[in-house]
């Protein structure tokens, strides 16, 4: 009984906060737009009983999903979002791994301080931090002022309202999510393994690629998921730092919900986005499970 209760708690949590909202969004994605509140039909009438339930399901269709395939805006938004999120994840990994490695190799007395510095930005509002980058990257901002003073550039760079600003904002915002899991994996690394590799003739670089990198792979994968998943559906950063040419599915989703008031199409966009995120996660979990079974 205790084991059943322990297992039931997270399943009830997922059911209430994930499965039920997802089913609601899925139902709306199969509905039709209407000038009403809520702005879609059909709506279930509990007083109609089983006959009303049958009529309710008979009116649901996949027209909104078909519509998404006929408009270039949506599939281009998905491709652009995957590209921006993927490249941002790689940049975040390239920046975050050396930082996590340096933290793990630092003296134990300094590690809590370094860890606090990594999570310190979370003490400030996310929106305020993004707004601060708007000032930093502006044509009259401190970044251009420093570059002009050093003679690196002759005229201010146009960084704001470009994809470069979006990359900078995403990398800055989600960098701690990459550093923390990698640091957790590297901190548990047994230093005697590196010593053994060097005693067997490996150079420090070879020992890193043969020992440190493979053992830190779980942290790398976790960090990549923690960065890629929220970056794919990001709305605030591309809206504030990106320009009109910045096309991401989060912006399209917002416009469909709040500007066009087309909840069924917006829900269909959200369902496809969720499928894009869930499929690689499920495949990764199955691969990891097979690897653990093979090791056992």
How far is the CA of 109 from the CAs of 93, 103, 104, 105, 112, in angstroms? 26, 11, 11, 11, 7
Residue range 9-35: average pLDDT?
90
pLDDT band, residue 290 (cuts 50/70/90)? confident
Residue 121 pLDDT level (bands cut at 50, 70, 90): confident
Looking at residue 291, its pLDDT comes to: 66
Instruction: Give the model's confidence band at 208: pLDDT under 50 very low, under 70 low, under 90 confident, else very high.
Output: confident
Is the pLDDT score of 48 beyond 70?
no
Size of the chain in residues: 296
Q: Are 33 and 264 in contact (CB under 8 A)?
A: yes
Angle made by CA atoms 2, 15, 24, in degrees to the nearest 5: 165
Which pair of tokens denotes residue 63?
């027209």
Confidence bin at 168 (pLDDT 50/70/90) = very high
How many Cα atoms sit within 13 Å of 230 on the Cβ side? 14
Q: Which residue, among 200, 180, 181, has the nearest Cα to 192 in the 3D structure?
A: 200
Percent of the chain residues past pLDDT 90, beyond the cut: 40
Please give the mean pLDDT across all residues of the chain.
88
> For the residues 225-234, what does the mean pLDDT come to?
91
Element spanning 33, H or E: strand 32-33
Apex 147 CA angle, 143 and 152, nearest 5: 155
Residue 270 has pLDDT above 80, yes or no: yes
Phi/psi zone of residue 37: left (φ > 0), alpha (ψ -120 to 50 degrees), beta?
beta
Please state, for a pLDDT cut of 70, what percent of the chain lies above it. 96
Tokens of 169: 């904002």
Q: Tell me: pLDDT of 198 over 90.
A: no
Higher pLDDT, 80 or 287: 80
pLDDT of residue 7: 87
Among the residues of 138-262, which ranges form H helices? 142-149, 163-187, 191-199, 204-207, 213-215, 217-232, 236-240, 249-254
| Distance (Å, whole) CA 124 – CA 44 | 43
Distance CA 239, CA 130 (A): 10
pLDDT for 90 beyond 80: yes
Residue 13, both tokens: 């949590």
3-state secondary structure of 41: strand
Work out the average pLDDT over 272-284.
83
Cβ atoms of 274 and 254 within 8 Å: the answer is no
Average pLDDT over residues 175-203: 87
pLDDT of residue 183: 95
What band does 18 get if pLDDT is binned at 50, 70 and 90? confident
Which domains, ranges and CATH numbers included, belong to the chain?
71-295 (1.10.3720.10)
Residues whose CB is less than 8 angstroms from the CB of residue 38 and which lie 6 or more positions away in sequence, other chains included: 263
């Amino acid at each position: 009984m205790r084991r059943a209760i322990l297992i039931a708690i997270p399943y009830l949590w997922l059911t209430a906060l994930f499965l039920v909202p997802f089913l609601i969004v899925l139902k709306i994605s199969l509905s039709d737009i209407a000038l009403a509140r809520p702005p879609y039909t059909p709506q279930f009438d509990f007083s109609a009983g089983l006959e009303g339930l049958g009529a309710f399901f008979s009116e649901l269709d996949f027209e909104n999903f078909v519509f998404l395939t006929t408009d270039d805006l949506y599939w281009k938004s998905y491709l652009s979002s995957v590209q921006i999120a993927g490249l941002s994840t790689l940049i975040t990994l390239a920046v975050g791994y050396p930082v996590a490695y340096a933290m793990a190799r630092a003296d134990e007395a300094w590690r809590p301080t370094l860890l606090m510095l990594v999570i310190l930005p979370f003490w400030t509002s996310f929106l305020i931090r993004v707004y601060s980058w708007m000032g930093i990257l502006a044509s009259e901002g401190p970044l251009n002022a420093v570059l002009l003073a050093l003679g690196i550039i002759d005229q201010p760079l146009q960084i704001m309202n470009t994809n470069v600003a979006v990359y900078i904002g995403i990398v800055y915002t989600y960098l701690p999510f990459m550093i923390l899991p990698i640091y957790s994996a590297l901190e548990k690394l047994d230093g005697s393994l590196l010593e053994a590799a060097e005693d067997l003739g490996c150079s420090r670089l070879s020992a890193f690629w043969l020992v440190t990198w493979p053992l830190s792979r779980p942290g790398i994968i976790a960090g990549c998921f923690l960065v890629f998943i929220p970056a794919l559906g990001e709305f605030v950063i591309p809206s504030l730092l990106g320009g009109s040419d910045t096309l991401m599915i989060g912006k399209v989703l917002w416009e469909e919900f709040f500007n066009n008031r087309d909840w069924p199409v917006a829900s269909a966009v959200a369902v496809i986005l969720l499928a894009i995120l869930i499929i690689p996660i499920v495949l990764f979990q199955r691969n990891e499970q097979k690897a653990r079974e093979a090791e056992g």
